[in-house]
Amino acid sequence: MRPRGGGVLRADGVSLEALARRHGTPLFVYSARTVRERLDALRRAFRRREPLVCYAMKANPCRALAAVLAREGAGADIVSGGELARALRAGFDPRRTVFSGVGKTEAEMAAGLRAGLLAFNVESAEELDALARVSGRLGRVAPVSVRLNPDVNARTHPHITTGRAENKFGVETAEALRLYARAARDRRLRVVGVQCHIGSQITQAEPFRRAARALARVVARLQAQGIRLQHADIGGGLGITYKDERPLAPAALARALEETFAPWPEMRLLLEPGRYLVAEAGILLTRVLYRKKTAKRRFIVVDGAMTDLPRPALYGAWHPVEAVRTRPGPRRRADVVGPVCESGDFLARARLLPPLERGDLLAVGKAGAYGFAMSSQYNSRPRSAEVLVDGGRARLARRRETLKDLIAAER
């Protein structure tokens, strides 16, 4: 999203001020155009093969937004029965959908089998046994892809690194080979692929290259045993620029995959991007409630909080913050903080901001991924509304929660 225009921020031509007036704040605004552009960029990066892009629903499960990707022919990557239901509702083809996650329940497996998913990314021997049992019970054959832990350092934030040997995810190569041998003998299971996911917000090509090679070694070993895989799935993790990061270009990832899998031209290559597709498509609109100054600091208290966009509080993440209408005057350094009763409740720290007054609107950028998706009702705050802008028109994708919603499940 390029939220610019004549000194007043707009979203793809739509007035953010009008959206805030109409739907209230805090408000997430998404750009369908940006999502399409990102998907195109990713697909165009591949020269020799057409990858299957499976959108990681966890980044943003908003139906209207996900439906944009489904309509463009993307598949989905899901990690729960909830995401399965929402992926189907958004229009994703189950035959283009993979089921990841270290703790799938048998009920979730059954739902995935009934839907006819492309693959279950299996992460342990016990999970494989459970999957076989469930598919036997349903009279189905479960498509199996083992999640490999390639012990690669993705060199990203420790909370979002997943491909090291000490992480809970995936299995090491020797164990993966044992699982394939076991699956190949079982008529309730069908071996279809190999997968890994080494972390998120990765900015270098090298970890992907190493992970791809680790996957290829498994493909070769299996081939020697007469087991042929239909696909290799490198997972998600492509980083973006929040501040001054210089992430690898999708072309670098494409090259690593195409080169590594050149010996198997018939294999399909899968990706599971979340952030890359949607982060830059979203902003969080929030209104200034109060300004206050202490001996040490200047605070801008806004109506958005860590409950809406937890990334700064959780990971110390940096998101761009701009005034929707810039007032003339000197910029001052301030913390942008929310109303939640925790000192960790900030959206931005020590940021140079133009003069602001009560009621002014701020746009927190790159909030399309892991924003609303991770939002909560902590402090009994109803979750915000979401708006999708498409073709110069805005429509409400999810209404703001009400006080009634807060207690609807209570008995």
Q: How far is CA 42 from the centre of its chain?
A: 15
Stretch that binds ligand LLP, among 53-61, 124-132, 284-292, 398-406 (CB under 6 A): 53-61
Residue 227's nearest CA partner among 272, 270, 264 is: 264
C-beta closer to ligand LLP: residue 58 or 188: 58
State the nearest-atom distance from the C-beta of 169 to ligand LLP, in Å: 8
Does residue 276 belong to the site contacting ligand LLP (CB under 6 A)? Answer: yes
State the number of CA atoms in the 13 A half-sphere of 163 facing the CB.
28
State the nearest-atom distance from the C-beta of 329 to ligand LLP, in Å: 34
- The only residue of 8, 67, 138, 160 in contact with ligand LLP, by rule CB under 6 A: 160
- The only residue of 94, 112, 163, 237 in contact with ligand LLP, by rule CB under 6 A: 237
What Å distances lie between residue 224 and 92, 269, 329, 338, 341, CA to CA? 35, 20, 70, 58, 59
Q: Is 379:307 a contact under the CB 8 Å cutoff? A: yes
| Count of residues engaged in binding ligand LLP, rule: CB under 6 A | 23
C-beta closer to ligand LLP: residue 77 or 390: 77
What Å distances lie between residue 396 and 14, 62, 177, 352, CA to CA? 13, 11, 48, 32
Identity (one letter) of the amino acid at 249? A
State the nearest-atom distance from the C-beta of 370 to ligand LLP, in Å: 3
Helix (H, G, I), strand (E, B) or coil at 271: strand
Does residue 238 belong to the site contacting ligand LLP (CB under 6 A)? Answer: yes
Stretch that binds ligand LLP, among 31-39, 65-73, 185-193, 367-375 (CB under 6 A): 367-375
Q: How far is CA 144 from the centre of its chain?
A: 23
Does residue 108 belong to the site contacting ligand LLP (CB under 6 A)? Answer: no
Does residue 127 belong to the site contacting ligand LLP (CB under 6 A)? Answer: no
Query: Is 341 labeled as catalytic in the residue annotation?
Result: yes
- The only residue of 16, 32, 39, 56 in contact with ligand LLP, by rule CB under 6 A: 56
Q: Looking at the chain, how many residues does it have?
A: 411
Does residue 269 belong to the site contacting ligand LLP (CB under 6 A)? Answer: no
C-beta closer to ligand LLP: residue 353 or 364: 364
Window 11-50: residues binding ligand LLP (CB under 6 A): none
Stretch that binds ligand LLP, among 5-13, 261-269, 334-342, 366-374 (CB under 6 A): 366-374
- The only residue of 207, 236, 247, 338 in contact with ligand LLP, by rule CB under 6 A: 236
State the nearest-atom distance from the C-beta of 238 to ligand LLP, in Å: 6
At 190, list the tokens. Answer: 């069908």
State the nearest-atom distance from the C-beta of 117 to ligand LLP, in Å: 14
Q: Please tell me the distance from the alpha carbon of residue 153 to that of residue 141, in angstroms, as a whole number.
A: 35
DSSP 194-241: EE---BSSB--SHHHHHHHHHHHHHHHHHHHTT---SEEE----B---
Q: Please tell me the distance from the alpha carbon of residue 379 to that of residue 32, in angstroms, as a whole number.
A: 32
Window 281-320: residues binding ligand LLP (CB under 6 A): 311, 315
C-alpha radius of gyration, the chain, whole number:
22
Does residue 272 belong to the site contacting ligand LLP (CB under 6 A)? Answer: yes
Stretch that binds ligand LLP, among 231-239, 262-270, 322-330, 360-368 (CB under 6 A): 231-239
Residue 339's nearest CA partner among 386, 286, 296, 295 is: 286
Q: Please tell me the distance from the alpha carbon of residue 278 to that of residue 31, in angstroms, as a whole number.
A: 9
State the nearest-atom distance from the C-beta of 208 to ligand LLP, in Å: 12
Window 68-97: residues binding ligand LLP (CB under 6 A): 77
Q: How far is CA 53 from the centre of its chain?
A: 13
State the number of CA atoms in the 13 A half-sphere of 355 facing the CB.
4
Q: Please tell me the distance from the alpha carbon of residue 396 to that of residue 386, in angstroms, as a whole number.
A: 6
Window 168-227: residues binding ligand LLP (CB under 6 A): 197, 200-201
Instruction: State the catalytic residues.
Output: 341
Binding site for ligand LLP (CB under 6 A): 56, 58-59, 77, 100, 160, 197, 200-201, 235-238, 272-276, 311, 315, 369-370, 374
